[in-house]
Structure 1
Amino acid sequence: MPDTPSEPEVFKKDTSRLQRLRRLLTSSLDPRAWAHALKVVNYYNYTHVQELRKASLGRNVRISPTVSFSNAQNVSIGENGRIGAGCSLWAGPDEGRIEIGPDAMFGPNVMVTAAGYRFNEGSPVTKQPMKEADVVLGRDVWVGYAAVILPGTVIGDGAIIGANAVVRGQIPENAIMTGNPAQQVGTRSIAPPQ
């Protein structure tokens, strides 16, 4: 049986440290790399840093650095709120507010929007007026991974929204909601304070 190489020759060549250092320096001097880095910093500043300053935040609120905001002057988060990584809080530019009650907790990648475009026939969606409606989440609401909360939604105190649920409308207190569209699958029992 003839000897067959286990790997192509291309992968067997060991690059020296000097070659790797040269590659690193060459790529870091590439103006395209710097342009991309500046775009990333600008986007982060525009969607997080500047917008976060406009939001109304209660005491002890924790917000992941990867949360993005739109029209944050129309966003309020109650005390002890927790907003997980990759969440998007997109309020309307005019009247669509997002109000998150105290002790609310969002898992990663939750999307809350208080505005959307109409889609009537006759003109492109982007040329149609926005439809805005407030989104209100009560006290002690837990929203799971990648849930979507649509304009006009009101979620009662103590409700739990399951992962990947798509929520619209009135959600009762202590309801456990899952699915697309979200359906109530149970009720959360909360012990009375002692």
Structure 2
Amino acid sequence: MIKILTFKLITIIFLVVNYISLSQRYNYWKRRFLGFAFVMRNKNCFRHIGDGCYISSDIVLRNPNDISIGSLSEISRNVTLTTWRSNDSKKGPLIHIGDNVSIGEGAHITASNLIKINDDVLLGKYVTITDNSHGYSDATDNFLAPSERDIVSVGQVVLEERVWIGDKVTILPGVRIGEGTVIGSNSVVTKDIPKHSVAVGNPAKVIKKLTNKN
């Protein structure tokens, strides 16, 4: 009797595990299909989209005509990409995403000037990148709600090739992160970080230089 109950229990567990596994695979491929379909349906809305891109269908966009995405790049769920016209910028805003870039779930990238993410960059989940602020903090602005103040371009943001940004990192205006650099999770990047470095903290500081073992 005990052996029969044990066998039935094992069978039930096996069926449940297989059902969960099949359900997860189904949901994964469903999201992939919807993402590729989203790209095909909205390709002409963007400034440029390269071949083989995947963009989650639940992405939040503002002014996609100011957004350029290179080939083989992937943008995950709940990512927000927005551009804003700034009174102090002569050129229109641009978010440039290079080839083979991966942007993790919940990332928020907002530009009023230029945010340039070069090839082979990896952004973790819930990363924030901004090149702007909500106006100047003077007496005039104090009489306006923050949402009504002009967007002010503070400085371009550039991520060079093969940069790896950890989860929940914030990158502030005017920052350039050198090629091959790693930024640790939860860091706040307030100034330039040199290439081939590891930086962590708030504000982010270099704790290690990455050197070729050869």
Superposed counterparts of 1:1-194, under 5 Å: 47-48=60-61, 51-52=63-64, 54-71=66-83, 74-92=94-112, 96-122=113-139, 123-124=141-142, 126=146, 128-132=149-153, 133-190=155-212
The alignment's TM-score, normalised by the length of structure 2, stands at: 0.61
The 8 Å contact of residues 59 and 78 in structure 2, kept in 1 or not, is answered as no
SS in 2 for 1:76: strand
SS class of match (1:170): coil
Task: Give the corresponding residue for 2:49.
Answer: none
* CA RMSD between the two structures: 2.4
Q: CA deviation at 1:74?
A: 1.0
Deviation of 1:129 after TM superposition, in Å, equals 4.1
Structure 1 pair 177/151, CA: closer, same or farther in 2 (3 Å)?
A: same
Structure 1 length normalisation: TM-score? 0.67
Cα distance in 2, alignment partners of residues 84 and 45 from structure 1: 13
Structure 2 CA distance, aligned partners of 1:167 and 1:87? 15
SS of alignment partner, residue 173 of structure 2:
coil
Q: What's the offset of the Cα at 1:65?
A: 2.8
Measured at CA, do residues 104 and 112 of structure 1 come closer, stay the same or move farther in structure 2, by a change above 3 Å? same
Deviation at 1:53, TM superposition (A): 6.0
- The one-letter code sitting in structure 1 at the alignment partner of 2:105 is A
Q: 1:168 to 1:54 in 2, by over 3 A?
A: same
| 2:180/2:195 contact within 8 Å kept | yes
Task: State the Cα distance separating 1:51 from its structure 2 match.
Answer: 4.7
Cα 1:61–1:46 shift into 2, 3 Å: closer
Alignment deviations for residues 128-179 of structure 1 (CA, whole Å, 9 cap, x no partner)? 5433111000000000000000011011101111101000221100111100
Stretches of structure 1 lacking an aligned partner (at least 5 in a row): 1-43
